[in-house]
Amino acid sequence: MAPKRINAMKDIIYIKDLRVETIIGIFDWERKVKQEVSIDMEFPFDCKKAAKTDSIEDTVDYKTICKAVIKFVEESSFQLQESLAEGIASLVKDEFQVESIKLRVSKPGALRGAKDVGLIIHR
């Protein structure tokens, strides 16, 4: 029996609690006022080359990603967090060629008694 091959673990670049105001929700009042959403993103990425070269060209430019996500979210007006999350994931994967993304989107204070409510997707 051949020895089990261990998959090389990838590093993770993350952005936590990116706060953006947008129109989101299903109720009439939610269509008239901006609400804050919180976004977490994780990208698997092999950071060895960037660590060696110390060059932004060899890594994921998370500042540029944040600017694009902020612009997208601010200009959007989705009813569902699910739709917003899917749009963010598609933007990041398509425009920044990240292999995959784990994304959390939440609306802080959306439910009485809960700190926040949201969803986590993997694409």
User: Active-site positions?
Assistant: 107
- Containing H/E element for 119? strand 116-122
Helix, coil or strand: residue 4: coil
d(CA 121, CA 3): 34
d(CA 46, CA 60): 10
- Containing H/E element for 64? helix 62-75
